Amino acid sequence: ERIFLKATTILEDPDAVKEKQMMVETLSHVLIGREKRMLSLVKEYFSLEDLVEIKKRLIGTGFIGGKSVGMLLARNILRKDPSLDWTAELEIHDSFYIGSDIFYSYMVQNGWWKLLMAQKTDEGYFKIANELKSKMLHGVFPDEVKEQFQLMLEYFGQSPIIVRSSSLLEDAFGNAFAGKYESYFCPNQGTPEERYKNFEEAVRKIFASTMKEDALTYRLQRGMAQEDEQMALLVQRVSGSHRNTYFFPDLAGVGLSYNTFVWQKGMDPKAGMLRIVFGLGTRAVNRVENDYPRIVALDAPLMKPYTKQEDMKRFSQNEVDLLNLQENVFQTLPAADLLTHDIEAHLDLIATRDMAAAEYLQSVGKQAKDTWILTFDELLENTSFVQTMSRMLKKLEQVYRYPVDIEFTVNFNTQGKPQINLLQCRPFQTKGHYSRVELPGKISKSKILLQQEANFMGGSVYQAISRIIYIDPKGYAGLSLSEKHEVARLTGKLNKQIGKREVMPTILLGPGRWGTTTPAMGVPVTFSEINNVTAIGEIAYQDGALIPDLSFGTHFFQDMVEMDIFYMAIYPEKDGVLFNTAWMKKQPNILTDLMPEDSHFANVVHVYDMRAKDLRLLSDIVTQKMICFFEK
């Protein structure tokens, strides 16, 4: 507190230029963190006023965590950019920061300190984490902390808020922790007691998410198991507006300054991409079931990843995430229902009339009503939105000296101009994107296992492959729900058995979407059940409606990019795609040798040893070609 009193005094002295700069450095070490690269950016882009303002909104003591720093830094970078009046483009944020020391106070208050220390040992790392996680969901907070929480909630009144994880390691250079920790929306309705209870529950859940297996595995794989991981929190007023009993922004999304998944020849990866949705951004950052957010390549914004016009409706967003203020819950509603209600939405900018549906209704003698398809075409073509987002991403990338990944919302003002609320910015891990790989000229068809153009992510690679794990789409589609979950767990066991991927580089191939929560759409694995594979393929299987999800920009994809897992979406029926499953099925399946207790799945789960076959996986991002073939 003494430091901050001194800072306020210096602030009032116009001549104390040197002292101000020294105080910026001092406060950065108290509020921001220890990471050198981030501290040097803070020194350049934060004024003493900025840091004193943060302190005014800080609950408790300690650091504000990676997510808060990233959000504030990105806004300051843009504010100082003279090439555009960013104050006219950006919505202001309304945030509070819960300091990282509160996490430890919570552990001490509830008598879990010894347990936390035991969890940091090798033998307790996973074992004790489980016990701690369940305890952390039911702890109590010190009275002085409760008091500060209540004052903050009084300030927000009944405005919806979001409580976001902002740990010390999160969003730093080299570790994005994408989706590893939780964030919770609080619609924030009801009595002050109810609102407080819901808020406290959100805080407990986020604290407990530090002990999730996915987060622990991630930290272990990146050599951070022993590092101090305290959880700070970012509490923000939700960006959006009231529409009848609902609350949500006009649109929300994710932006990447480097497009790791260019799906067409001629697209420039360096132009970046967006993944946008109508409503809350949860559908943009998570892989969503049977739904398709709009993917925008910033150098070709109107080009869509599908080619046929009739696919427009099928591959569009069908559901909207929002807050139902009457019910005080987060909710998902069909877009069609929402768009036909009289909600205030700029339909002219975000949707296209569904003429085919209107014609069909007329043909069967029914009254044609307005139905809409969420395409965002008008927004992308006839407003400054694409140019603004492009400039934003390029500016942030230039200052970070690294590709960036952002989250944002957009609300249209009374003139229909998009106002952007920048919620998050972090370095985006990209690998292998700057070199070329020369693909061999003529290869006999019998030696090709898989060949295709585009629909892969992971840059230019040249990789020997020792093992293939293949989940047969037809066999998988015929399994019961519980058997599909068993196949996911079996995949996890095979993944664990790989050990080091350098020693046993493995391709994992399966139907539909990996990591789905709906087994009918694909294999419901968690990321820690596939994290040792070298390459992963999602196979389209029309009979079972198992379709890959080109969900670039989601946490799942961030995981794959960060762990350097090469990704392929395989459409066997598509022209120009060669996928030789017949050859695979003639090879001996070693599943029974590896996992005798799971031999009853041998007709669905195939494991092939390729070490004697000289199997190679090659891709070239410039020509957008990819091949997996036998050199011998």
Alpha helices in 377-472 (DSSP H): 377-382, 385-400
As given in the structure block, the two tokens for residue 291 are 């739904």
Q: What are the φ and ψ backbone dihedral angles of 80, each rounded to 5 degrees?
A: -90, 0
Residues 357 and 456 in one domain: no
Residues 28 and 99 in one domain: no
Residues 5 and 70 in one domain: no
As given in the structure block, the two tokens for residue 181 are 């920790």
For residues 325-351, give the mean pLDDT: 87
Q: Which tens digits make up the pLDDT trace of 361-405?
A: 666 767 666 788 899 999 999 999 999 999 999 999 999 988 899
Residues 232 and 258 in one domain: no
CATH number for the domain that contains residue 245: 3.30.470.20
For residues 588-594, give the mean pLDDT: 96
Which of 181, 204, 237 is a domain's end point?
237
What is the three-state SS of 499-553?
Answer: CCCCCCCEEEEEEECCCCCCHHHECCCCHHHCCCCCEEEEECEHHHCECCCCCCC
Residue 438 within any structural domain of the chain: no
Residue 269 within any structural domain of the chain: yes
Q: How far apart are the first and last CA of the chain?
A: 70
Q: Which tens digits make up the pLDDT trace of 110-134?
A: 999 999 999 988 899 999 999 999 9
For residues 9-14, give the mean pLDDT: 86
pLDDT at residue 435 tops 60:
no
pLDDT at residue 626 tops 70:
yes
Q: Which tens digits make up the pLDDT trace of 224-253?
A: 777 777 899 999 999 999 998 999 999 999
Residue 114 within any structural domain of the chain: yes
pLDDT at residue 433 tops 50:
no
- C-alpha distances in Å from residue 376, one per residue of 5, 87, 254, 256, 539: 49, 24, 15, 18, 28
Residue 367 within any structural domain of the chain: yes
CATH number for the domain that contains residue 98: 3.30.1490.20
Q: Which residues contact 260 (CB under 8 A, 6 or more apart)?
A: 269, 430, 433, 457, 458, 459, 552, 557, 561
Which of 237, 266, 300 is a domain's end point?
237
Residue 120 within any structural domain of the chain: yes
Residue 433 within any structural domain of the chain: no
Sign of the alpha-carbon torsion through 491, 497, 502, 504 = negative
Residues 298 and 369 in one domain: yes
Residues 4 and 148 in one domain: no
pLDDT of residue 323: 98
- Cα Dmax for the chain: 81
Split at pLDDT 50, 70, 90, the class of 425 is: very high
Residue 408 within any structural domain of the chain: yes
Q: What is the mean pLDDT of the chain?
A: 89
Residue 437 within any structural domain of the chain: no
Residues 305 and 355 in one domain: yes
Which of 392, 427, 462 is a domain's end point?
427
H or E stretch at 584:
helix 581-585
Percent of the chain with pLDDT over 90: 61
Q: Which tens digits make up the pLDDT trace of 412-423?
A: 998 889 999 999
pLDDT at residue 474 tops 90:
yes
N residues, the chain? 632
Residues 110 and 208 in one domain: yes
Rg of the chain, C-alpha, whole Å: 26
pLDDT of residue 225: 78
Residues 312 and 389 in one domain: yes
Split at pLDDT 50, 70, 90, the class of 434 is: very low
Split at pLDDT 50, 70, 90, the class of 352 is: confident
Q: At what angle do helices 66-79 and 48-56 cross, to 10 degrees?
A: 140
Look at the chain and report how many structural domains it folds into: 4
- C-alpha distances in Å from residue 433, one per residue of 269, 400, 401, 532: 9, 18, 15, 21
* Residue closest to 561 by CA, chosen among 400, 431, 462, 437: 431
pLDDT of residue 88: 93
Question: In 117-215, which ranges are E strands?
Answer: 161-167, 183-186
pLDDT at residue 186 tops 70:
yes
With 0-12 / 13-18 / 19 or more C-beta atoms within 10 angstroms meaning exposed / middle / buried, residue 613 is middle
Residues 414 and 459 in one domain: no
Q: Which tens digits make up the pLDDT trace of 484-504?
A: 999 999 999 999 999 888 889
Residues 621 and 522 in one domain: yes
Range of the domain at 49: 1-56
Q: Which tens digits make up the pLDDT trace of 252-287?
A: 999 999 887 777 777 888 899 999 999 999 988 876
Q: Which tens digits make up the pLDDT trace of 187-212?
A: 999 999 999 999 999 999 999 999 99
3-state DSSP call for residue 13? Answer: coil
Residues 274 and 216 in one domain: no
